Structure formats: C-alpha cells, structure tokens
Amino acid sequence: MASTYTTRIGLEKQGDGENPNTWGLRLNQNTIDLVDEAVAGYETVDIEAATTTTLTVNSGASDQARNMGLKFQGNLTENKYVLVPTKEKVYYIVNDTTGDFDIYLKQDGAADGTKITVVESGFSMIAAVDPVDVVIDALKPATSVATATNAIFFANTSTAQYVRTDQASRVSVGGIQFDDNVSITLGTDGDADLYHNNSDLYLDMSNGDNLFVRNGTTTKFTLDSNSGDFTATGNITAYSDERLKSNIKTLDGSKAFDMRGVSYTKDGEESSGVIAQELEVIAPELVIEGEEYKSVAYGNIVGYLIEAVKLLKEEVEELKAKVQ
C-alpha cells in the first residue's frame, strides 16, 4: 500500500508493509524532521524579484509553506503578493523588507478580496489560514498607534481594530463603535455609564459622584452630580465678538426694573436668583426651554443691568441739576 500524506503539513503516513528495512530512515526524514520544521522552522523568503511569490509545497519533503516562521526580505519597488496553500495553518511572519510598499497575503487561487495586508517593515504578526471560508485572520502589532509597546491589532481581511495595553495595565481601544443606547460602564460598582441615544450624549453618575476635569493632578473644574453645581478655577466665558453678531441693538434698561430677585430653597439648599417663568414675560431670550424644566442664562442679565444703571445715572444727574 502506497504512502499517504497529512492534509495540513504533508507528513508521510506509510502504508502497510511499505518500505521494509528503510522505514526508520523515512520516518525520520519524512515525518520527524518535517514536524520539527512545521513546529519550529524559520524560513527566509526573498520576495523582491516577482510581483507574486508562491510558497513552495512538497508533501513528504522540506518546503517553505510548512515552516512555522516566515521572514519576508527584499527591496520592494512595488506592492507584493505572497500566496500560501489553501490548508489550515498558522504562520509567524516577520516583515524584513525595505521600500515603502505593501505586502498582501492570501490563499493560492483565492479571490483578491480575501487578501490581508502584512504588517509594516520591522514588525511581525501571526496569521491563521482558514481554507473553508477562504480567509486569513491575523494578529498584528499596532504599527500605526503612537508608542505601540505591547499593542496588537485584531484584523480580519481588509478591516482592523486594535487593543493597546501598556506596562501600567491601561487599555486603549481604537476603531471601535458602540450602537445607540449601549453604555460604557465605569467603576467596579457601575458608578458611571456613558452612552449615546441617537441624538445626545449622556453620562449617568449612579452614586452621586463628582466629575473632575484635571490638568495632571490639579482639578480645573468640578461637576457635582447631586446638586448640579459646576465649579471652575478659571473664567467661564462665551464668544462675544462683534464679528459674530448682527442686528445689534441697545437693550431697554427699564425692563430690569420689572425683574424680581428672589431667595428660595431648591434640592434642600438655600439659594437666590430669579424665577424663569417671571423672567420669560419680560425678556424671553434669557429663558431656555429644557426637556422638563426651564433654565436661565444668568450671565446675559448683565446687559439689562448695565442699561438700567445708565437710566438711574441719568435720573441722578437730572436731580443734581435741579438741586443746584
């Protein structure tokens, strides 16, 4: 009975009664040596000369495709293709070429759309061949992520995503998208959820925690999720450049005389200000309609107060003139 060969890496399986008195040599050469090549073999493949390089395949004998490690070399002057056999196989690939061109890996005879791009020169990757779905999956180092130490790409055909970890056990994720209303939960107790609902971005703080924005370890502003208080160490400003405005008119300062300042209790805390519904009747542009409640642009009241002070000054000047 004639020998047969394993489907993946072409190891000889001797038939019954075959190779009498020589089976030991053939076992060593055609099986054990080739297993060693498949498990730990490292082959240098020069891909400089041709546009397409097909890895050699020899059942029962040494070849390029059986090796675990493949190092691509050559000075590239164009994009290159490397064809691997349509067999289940895992490769460790090193790109040792020069020249700013791409190397594509695909199965021999497969459509061009199934190719994947080999990592940039100076980097290595792991590729797994799937002959059933005619795809090659790859695990790559993150060559395009800044300071990519310990970073890897998870890539499938022409798309790629990466997960990056560093020595501080931090993880960075790039090229990832969450569906609407799918939240990112922060904290071991689910302290905060960040999500988008197709129109707005939400940060839900479940335990009354504060939100701190810091420069290094120095807090620059704080948002208290219980009271809603916003505290900043610097100025809170809005653009007020004349070049951004049109139809500029002086305010009627007398409207400020109709505004009522009040003290009140809100959320169990004593405070002071105005009532939105009252202010809306006098200066509706100062009141903002929210999803549930009205809010007031307190800073914009200053314009009315300035003009009111001017009116009072005029009255004072008139009274002074009469007294004199």
Give the HSE-up count for residue 129: Cα atoms under 13 Å, Cβ half-sphere: 23
pLDDT tens, residue by residue, 195-226: 999 899 999 988 778 899 999 999 999 998 88
What pLDDT score does 4 carry?
A: 79
Residue numbers in the chain where pLDDT is lower than 50 = 144-151, 153-160
What pLDDT score does 241 carry?
A: 95
Amino acid present at 299: G
Query: Which bin fits 258, alpha (ψ -120 to 50), beta or left (φ > 0)?
Result: alpha
- Report the SS3 class of residue 25: helix
What pLDDT score does 57 carry?
A: 92
What residues pair up with 281 in beta bridges, in sequence order? none
CB within 8 Å of 171: residues ≥ 6 apart: 163, 164, 165
Tell the burial category of 265 from Cβ atoms under 10 Å away from its Cβ (0-12, 13-18, 19+): exposed
What pLDDT score does 171 carry?
A: 57
Please state, as a whole number, how many other Cβ atoms lie within 10 Å of the Cβ of residue 295.
Answer: 11
What pLDDT score does 156 carry?
A: 43
What pLDDT score does 29 carry?
A: 66
Pairing state between β 116-117 and 184-186: unpaired
Q: What is the pTM of this model?
A: 0.47
**Rg of the chain over CA atoms, in angstroms?**
37
Query: How far apart (Å, rounded) are the C-alpha atoms in residues 146 and 144?
Result: 6
Buried/exposed 214-226: b ≥16 CB within 10 Å, e otherwise: eeeeeeeeebebe
List C-alpha distances in Å: 261 to 156, 239, 274, 281, 298: 64, 27, 5, 15, 12
Query: How far apart (Å, rounded) are the C-alpha atoms in residues 57 and 60?
Result: 10
Amino acid present at 103: I
Q: Tell me the torsion sign for CA atoms 309, 314, 317, 323.
A: negative
- Helical segments of the chain, H only: 23-27, 33-40, 276-282, 301-323
Phi then psi for 200, rounded to 5 degrees?
-135, 155
CB within 8 Å of 54: residues ≥ 6 apart: 82, 83, 108
Query: How far apart (Å, rounded) are the C-alpha atoms in residues 140 and 123?
Result: 8
